[in-house]
Amino acid sequence: METSTEPVLDYDAAARFWDAYAAAFPRQAAAAGTYTVEAFGDSPELADQLLSLVLAGRKRATSSHVAEYMAEGEPLPRIGVHWVVCDGSGEPGAILRTTELKIGTFADADEAFARDEGEDDLSLASWRREHQKYWERTAAARGESWSERDELVFERFDLVWPARGSLGS
């Protein structure tokens, strides 16, 4: 059973990671202006697993519960926004740029989106099963309940850093 202990993010390391990106791609970083620092999931294990799918090129989408943003007083994502994604230990591992957003409900997820999320067997049935468990768990942690009618953010993104060939060289 997964624990629901979110990673503690290393904002100083994220700033250095962003600086490396900005040095390599000054025009893109200047156009982006700012960035957020986040981790996938609600546990270090899930953060590691999902980040590894991003770095492997399998995961190019994510979904989140609008209520989570409201509970944290955070704005919803916007197209073009960059985010530093951290692993389960809070260390930065990738910079993503949001390319597509849609607000919808659980029923609005389709096979293409499930495949783009890159998790499990890539099927819509698996996406629905695992995301329902996740949102029930995270809503309960906030003292709320989850419903299939709740608003969700469906987000697609590009991996912009590390650029191909920038690691291990």
Q: Using one digit for the tens of pLDDT, what is the confidence trace for 121-143?
A: 999 999 999 999 999 999 999 99
Q: What's residue 87's pLDDT?
A: 97
Q: Which pTM was predicted?
A: 0.91
One pLDDT digit (tens) per residue for the chain, 169 residues: 444 578 899 999 999 999 999 999 999 999 998 999 999 999 999 999 999 999 999 999 999 999 999 999 999 999 999 999 999 999 999 999 999 999 999 999 999 999 999 999 999 999 999 999 999 999 999 999 999 999 999 999 999 999 654 443 3
- Residue by residue, DSSP assigns the chain as -----PPPP-HHHHHHHHHHHHHH-HHHHHHH--EEEEESSSSHHHHHHHHHHHHTT---EEEEEHHHHHHHTPPPP-TT-EEEEE-TTS-EEEEEEEEEEEEE-GGG--HHHHHHHT-TTS-HHHHHHHHHHHHHHHHHHTT----TTS-EEEEEEEEEESPTT-S--
